[in-house]
Amino acid sequence: MARTPNTKADRLLLRALACGATVENAAHKAGVGERTAYRRRADPAFQAELRKTILEIFQRTSAMLSGAGIGCVKTLVDLQQDAAVQPNVRRRAARDVLDLSLKFRDRADLEPRLAAAEEQLALIASGHGPSDETQDSTHEFQQKTNHE
């Protein structure tokens, strides 16, 4: 006999697993048995929800870090330029600013290209053959890729 899933328990289990808890700890937090947690984790639909939850957490974390980034960069730049600060601290601040700027630039460059590639894959996966729209998207993707 099929059990009706406990949606509150599933949400708690998903959240705990997405945050890195072991299956045993996640089961305890969700108020379900370990076998139930393992069974749910093996379910393809649950796995898809888990991936979605992990992605949502990652996106929120990334947005929060981006928001804090301007203040952090200002602090690093201030440290780098303050002659009263020890030279080794200024050097590390300069290195951190350069490192972060390169990573940020790389990410900013890759985001639109990745979005275009994902769009192309979604069209292919949906079974749409080459159409004018697909060819236009392919052309846009190639332009973005060749822009580098």
For residues 81 and 103, give the distance between their C-alpha atoms in angstroms, rounded to a whole number: 22
For residue 142, tell me if it sits in a domain: no
> What's the domain count of the chain?
1
> Is residue 38 included in any domain, yes or no?
yes
In a domain, 128, yes or no: no
- The DSSP string of 59-84 is HHHHHHHHHHHHHHHHHHHHHHH-TT
Q: What does pTM read for this prediction?
A: 0.54
Query: In 3D, which of 148, 146, 116 has the Cα closest to residue 134?
Result: 116
Q: Tell whether 77 is covered by a domain.
A: no
pLDDT in tens, 96-147: 877 877 777 777 777 778 878 888 888 888 887 555 555 555 556 566 555 5
Q: Please give the residue range of the domain that contains residue 24.
A: 1-67
Rounded-to-integer distance, Cα 69 and Cα 77, Å:
12
Structural contact between residues 36 and 4, judged by C-beta atoms closer than 8 angstroms? no
Per-residue pLDDT band at 66 (split at 50, 70, 90): confident
Q: Which of 110, 103, 120, 119 lies closest to 144 in space, CA to CA? A: 110
